[in-house]
A and B are shown apart, each in its own frame.
Chain A
Amino acid sequence: MPLPHPLAAAALLLAVPLAQAAPGADADALQQRALAATCAACHGTDGRPVAGSAIPPLQGRDRDGVLAALVAFRDGSRPSTVMQQIARGYTPAQLARLADYFAAVPQ
């Protein structure tokens, strides 16, 4: 069943201004957000953990820095307890989408 409001689909976009929204972009933005949601159980919704969390935030961090860390986890050059094992589950393109997403989440 379609939503009652014509702007409903456009509103799915989080980080992109509504005016730029096109149907393809809407689906893409929703998929990007769903991909980023796979990080949320540990790092908090949209990468915002609770206060005092030993697991660090992802939201609002430098895009290239986050991507470099993810790539280093993936290739094993950065030591970790769990993140090497998680990062290897994503393609380089997916890691780049994640870094894009978290850098764009508003403060």
Chain B
Amino acid sequence: MKRRRLIAGAGALGLAGCAAPLRPPRRAQVVVVGGGFGGATAARYVRLLSQQRIEVVMIEPQAQFIACPGSNAVLGGTRTLDTLTASYDALTGRHGVTWVRDTATAIDAGRRTVTLASGAVIGWDKLVLSPGVALMFDEVQGLREAHDDGRVLQAWKAGPETLALRRQLEAMPDGGVFAIAIPESPYRCPPGPYERACVVAAWLRRAKPRSKLLVLDANADVVSKPALFKAAWRELYPGLVEYRPQHKVIGVDAARGTLRVELQDDVRADVMNVLPPMRAGALAVTSGLANAANRWCRVNFLDFSSTAAKDVHVLGDAVQAAPGMPKSAHMANAHAKVAAAAIVAELSGLAPDPHPMLTNTCYSFVDEASAIHVASVHEYVAAEATFKPVAGAGGVSAQRNEAEGAYADAWARNIRADTLGA
């Protein structure tokens, strides 16, 4: 144990206190950019699978981890944001990950370095990039200004904006209109907007029963669990939730309270929650790793290595997805484990796993207590060099039920603990 402690010396910094070290290390075997479900899981599992022998530096500017799954319940008033918030203490203390609290601003794949906003430069043997999504505010006319003014919120990255949107809903008069605008797929969390409609409607039904909730969907149909969501709207929220497919919001006028919809009449709303199109996080784009339409990152799925740069691995929502692969927290966690195992194997001189597997389960609440799921299992198919859903596996709930509400809560707590090593 003593020897292990010495090798994991970087972790000793974490044991000494919760804060990230003042001066970042000059290099590490593995540098992880991003401390969300993908990045934190990768950092934790490289440590775990290498028996703490491979040093890991994680770069993440946020002071704390805030989970997006569950954040719709904050809008619905059944959860507080602090129940979704966790520290990185276990990752640094128990697992010996060195956390550098800074923003990565540039990647030099040739020199194998990453540059931070502070100006510090960290060298690496393997870089893991898990940058999440960037919201393309400029794709919707007027949205950037309205968002910067705090009038039209996204609340798609859980945090202060989640609380701000909750305040807007609380201030909305009974009889008001709350509109959720959904971009064309792919976007982060396919069932998320529809769950948001359900749990906010559950609250409106009690608190402001004369109100209306409009779902303006750029897609031709509900993207995830369509029959189950539509049944919930029809049976639980008749006259409250109205779903409009093929309603692509292309402009906002916050002063007039209107949304401009492609090929449709303008829509008036008191509270507007506009989700713009999304793409891989900014660093993936500026570093040239977003080589699929300058939007998502192509990877070799056997180990999630970038097709644009050697020894750089990209995870999570930023990846140009394989067939049937959602942009979800669960999937990012699963990507991270495949990448971590491949990195540990390579740095240990072992053969890579020829047949990695991924699972995904996305639970969605449809009221305060009942939930529905969509699940899938994905296997690496060598002949096609991609992951494919295993035929005959996966599926959705038979119907909404409270047992899955309890499973959804357990899932949220277990995946967070798995990700952060808490």
CB distance from B409 to the nearest CB of A (A): 7
Query: Given A3-B54, A86-B377, A89-B377, A42 and B347 touching (CB < 8 A)?
Result: no
Question: Is A2 engaged at the interface, CB distance under 8 Å to the other chain?
Answer: yes
B384-422 to A contact mask, C-beta < 8 Å, 1/0:
000000101111011001011011011101110110010
B window 57-80: CB within 8 A of A = none
CB distance from A63 to the nearest CB of B (A): 20
Interface residues of B toward A: which range? 35 or more
> Which listed residue, A31, A44, A45, A88, touches B393 by the CB 8 Å rule?
A88
Structural contact, A38 and B414, CB atoms closer than 8 A:
no
B window 357-401: CB within 8 A of A = 357-359, 361, 373, 375-379, 390, 392-395, 397-398, 401
Which residues from chain B contact A54 at a C-beta distance below 8 Å? Answer: 403, 406-407, 409-410
For A2, the closest partner residue in chain B by CB is B349
Bound-state CA distance A2–B29 (Å) is 10
Structural contact, B333 and A41, CB atoms closer than 8 A:
yes
Query: Given A3-B348, A12-B348, A38-B358, A53 and B353 touching (CB < 8 A)?
Result: no
Which residues from chain A contact B286 at a C-beta distance below 8 Å? Answer: none
Which residues from chain B contact A53 at a C-beta distance below 8 Å? Answer: 410, 413-414
Question: Is A68 engaged at the interface, CB distance under 8 Å to the other chain?
Answer: no
CB distance from A73 to the nearest CB of B (A): 11
Query: Given A31-B341, A54-B409, A89 and B390 touching (CB < 8 A)?
Result: yes
Structural contact, A82 and B375, CB atoms closer than 8 A:
yes
Query: Which stretch (B44-52, B133-141, B180-188, B260-268) binds chain A?
Result: B44-52
A80-91 to B contact mask, C-beta < 8 Å, 1/0:
011001111110
Structural contact, B413 and A50, CB atoms closer than 8 A:
yes
For B405, the closest partner residue in chain A by CB is A54
Query: Given A49-B410, A86-B377, A89-B393, A3 and B347 touching (CB < 8 A)?
Result: yes
Question: Is B281 engaged at the interface, CB distance under 8 Å to the other chain?
Answer: no
Question: Is A16 engaged at the interface, CB distance under 8 Å to the other chain?
Answer: no
Structural contact, B353 and A34, CB atoms closer than 8 A:
yes
Structural contact, A41 and B361, CB atoms closer than 8 A:
yes
Structural contact, A41 and B350, CB atoms closer than 8 A:
no
Question: Is A30 engaged at the interface, CB distance under 8 Å to the other chain?
Answer: yes
The tally of residues in A whose CB lies under 8 Å from a CB in B reads: 39
Structural contact, B407 and A81, CB atoms closer than 8 A:
yes
A3-40 to B contact mask, C-beta < 8 Å, 1/0:
10100110110000000000100110011011101111
Bound-state CA distance A87–B375 (Å) is 11
For A32, the closest partner residue in chain B by CB is B353
Bound-state CA distance A88–B377 (Å) is 8
Which residues from chain B contact A23 at a C-beta distance below 8 Å? Answer: 349-350
Which residues from chain A contact B214 at a C-beta distance below 8 Å? Answer: none
Bound-state CA distance A27–B417 (Å) is 26
B29-46 to A contact mask, C-beta < 8 Å, 1/0:
100000000000000010
Question: Is B344 engaged at the interface, CB distance under 8 Å to the other chain?
Answer: yes
With most chain A CB atoms within 10 A of its CB, the pick from B357, B395, B421 is B357
CB distance from B70 to the nearest CB of A (A): 14
Structural contact, B377 and A9, CB atoms closer than 8 A:
no
Bound-state CA distance A91–B390 (Å) is 10
Structural contact, B341 and A34, CB atoms closer than 8 A:
yes
Question: Is B338 engaged at the interface, CB distance under 8 Å to the other chain?
Answer: yes
CB distance from A100 to the nearest CB of B (A): 16
> Which listed residue, B53, B344, B377, B406, touches A5 by the CB 8 Å rule?
B53
Query: Given A12-B50, A82-B373, A86-B359, A41 and B348 touching (CB < 8 A)?
Result: no
With most chain A CB atoms within 10 A of its CB, the pick from B359, B395, B401 is B359
For B379, the closest partner residue in chain A by CB is A89
Question: Is B337 engaged at the interface, CB distance under 8 Å to the other chain?
Answer: yes
Question: Is B1 engaged at the interface, CB distance under 8 Å to the other chain?
Answer: no
For B345, the closest partner residue in chain A by CB is A30
For B378, the closest partner residue in chain A by CB is A89
Known: A33-B49, A85-B377. 10 other contacts (CB 8 A): A1-B125, A12-B350, A34-B49, A37-B45, A43-B414, A50-B410, A53-B413, A85-B376, A88-B394, A94-B357
Pick the 10 closest A-B CB pairs, nearest first: A89-B377, A89-B393, A34-B341, A54-B406, A11-B51, A88-B393, A89-B390, A53-B410, A55-B410, A54-B410
16 residue pairs of the A-B complex, CB under 8 angstroms, read: A2-B347, A11-B53, A30-B49, A37-B337, A41-B361, A42-B407, A49-B410, A53-B410, A53-B413, A82-B373, A85-B375, A86-B375, A86-B393, A88-B377, A89-B377, A89-B390
